Amino acid sequence: MDQAGISYFLGPYQSAHENALQKMRRNSIAARIWANDFNVWKPSPHEITNRLGWLSAPSETLGNLHHIRSILQPLTSDGLSDVVLLGMGGSSLAADVFNRIFGSAPGFPKLQILDTTDPAVILETADRLDPKKALFLVSSKSGTTLEVVSLFHYFYQLTERKLGAQAAEHFIVITDEGSPMLETAWQHKLRYVFVNNPNIGGRYSALSLPGIVPAAMIGVDIEKLLHNAVAAARQEKADFFSGGNDSEGFRLGAALGVLAQYGRDKLTLILPPQWIAFGDWLEQLIAESTGKEGKGIVPVVSEPQPDAGVYGKDRAFVVFDNGSALWETRIADVASAGHPILKIRIDDAYDLGRQMFLWEMATAVASHWMGIHPFDQPDVEATKIHTRQSIEQFKINRTWPGEKPAITTGNADVYGDIAGATPDEALVNFLSEGQPGAYAALLVYLSPSDPIDQALSCLRKALIRKFKMAVTIGYGPRYLHSTGQLHKGDAGHGLFIVLTDDIKKDAGIPDVFGKPESSMTFGELKTAQGAGEIKALREKGRRVIRVHFKSDAAAELAGLASRL
């Protein structure tokens, strides 16, 4: 069945989809969303009425473009070579999408996203930059995000050491009203502060300042991008109130919600190579919005594509079709295996504006159907609490709480409630206990590198084939701001494999902004975050094991994959 740019191949779920649409029409859900009625989701307005600014974000941002350009134009025409975005989650993912899909236009600086506490990555960035030709975009809605504050302190101190009082000219802040970063920026006379609409949640902020400012910095045609988003919003609203067809976002959201309700909750996203980055943005939007109250949709992105017969009955597929003949063969294979498919037509890269608004609406509608609050993230705080506790204990004792490995070998230690004599046996036995609907999540606290990425991809492919379950990959702490809520808030079907190794390079984090004294390093912070996440997962009754590599982690992962 086709509706505008989306084709629906829902098989036995088609009638349930139509019934859901009819029920939502009777309850005027579409009109109530546009009227900012919090009762669409919950009987309390808490974190709903002040989180619906995304509905008007495209037009609001479009109206501010002259101001945005007036601030940025002197920078991009003044020999600037690098822009480094310090952000996490919703403050970095949209910028990463624009950067990876569009790249920097001729004459514009290169953009690097730093959404990590990994000291090797941070030190490599610091060594490479010429501070005289670099600008730092510090992006945090709350102004208190631990990773962003730590990176801000570190790079300001580094820049000030090299440039003195001129350091302030190399920092721009993107934050909300009331953020403590505002006071810091004014006190130290930073170059500029963009104050975003506080009624837009982080994962819904792509079409507001956190996404658009960095896009403008690298020469993206932000007018075209936003005009496409505005057109999508207007069409959504027109369709809602025309009395005719339901809008694209409404129908898409109903399909996502219905499929999840019937156990098809592993939403497998298949994108053309140039659009792969969009999957990472969708992952956060969907996972953090729906993964709570014992429910959730698990986005599966960048997955190797095995034979269709390997997929379990918990799968649903979204194929982003750019006209490639390869997709038709792939769709036919998946459909013949009995899996529901949504095919979405996409045009050029600037169709991103339309797609972003469409998926924001669809996620809000799906959340309504699932009975979920789409704008909060109640379980994210659990990891933060345990991380803070670990940090405080470490600062006092200068040691981490000990945990005895269940298995120890010359190359790796394995921690957790497991059975087996080797890491291979432990992993196989651990995943063999998965119930129907289970998925595995590789939570990676290793330094990112091409060899690590390749080894993880091989391991992921081996696990999918052997256990016939969805397998996701997330680098820590980045995934904590993306899928971390889902892991702790969904129905509890996840099997979590935490991967760690020894910190080989490290850098101190200044305790106070503008001062060099440090009582903790990035490596110690990363260790605390991994430990805090394990405690939070176990507190929620999730199954977790940890594999700590003593030698070459990439080689060990590759060897494990080949043996599986």
What's the pLDDT score for residue 3? 44
Token duo for residue 441: 């999540």
The answer to whether 75 and 130 are in contact (CB under 8 A) is: no
Nearest to 111, CA basis, from 222, 212, 215: 215
Question: 55-220 in CATH: which number?
Answer: 3.40.50.10490
Indicate the pTM of the whole model.
Answer: 0.96
Contact criterion met (CB below 8 Å) for 84 and 129: yes
CATH class of 2-35+226-370: alpha beta
| pLDDT tens-place string over residues 508-552 | 999 999 899 999 999 999 999 999 999 999 999 999 999 999 989
Question: Quick one: three-class SS letters along 364-402?
Answer: HHHHHHHCCCCCCCCCHHHHHHHHHHHHHHHHHHCCCCC
Express as a percent the part of the chain with pLDDT over 70.
98
Q: What is the per-residue pLDDT across 122-162, written as a single tens digit (0 to 9) for each?
A: 999 999 999 999 999 999 999 999 999 999 999 999 999 99
Q: How far apart are CA 470 and CA 339, in angstroms?
A: 14
Q: Is the dihedral of CA 81, 87, 93, 94 positive or negative?
A: negative
Q: How far is CA 196 from CA 14, 50, 309, 481, in A?
A: 41, 13, 47, 19
Range of weakest confidence among 252-266, 271-285, 320-334, 429-443: 320-334
For 530-552, the three-class secondary structure string (H helix, E strand, C coil) is: HHHHHHHHHHCCCEEEEEEECCC
Tokens, residue 15 = 């009638």
Cβ atoms of residues 268 and 283 within 8 Å: no
Tokens 């601030």 correspond to 71
Separation between Cα atoms, residue 83 and residue 220, nearest integer Å: 14
Structure tokens at 367: 């959340």
Q: So what CATH class is 380-563?
A: alpha beta
CA angle at 282 for the pair 324 and 484, rounded to the nearest 5°: 140
Q: Do 2-35+226-370 and 380-563 share a fold?
A: yes
303-322 mean pLDDT = 89
Kindly give, in sequence order, each residue whose CB lies less than 8 Å from that of residue 159, ignoring residues fewer than 6 positions away. Answer: 131, 134, 136, 167, 170, 171
Which strand (E) or helix (H) includes residue 498?
A: strand 494-501
**134, two tokens:** 């670099």
Question: Domain residues of the chain, as ranges?
Answer: 2-35+226-370, 55-220, 380-563
Span 459-464, average pLDDT: 96
Helix axes 209-217, 93-102, angle to 10 degrees: 30
Residue 470 belongs to what H/E stretch? strand 470-475
Distance from C-alpha of 82 to C-alpha of 95, rounded to nearest angstrom: 14
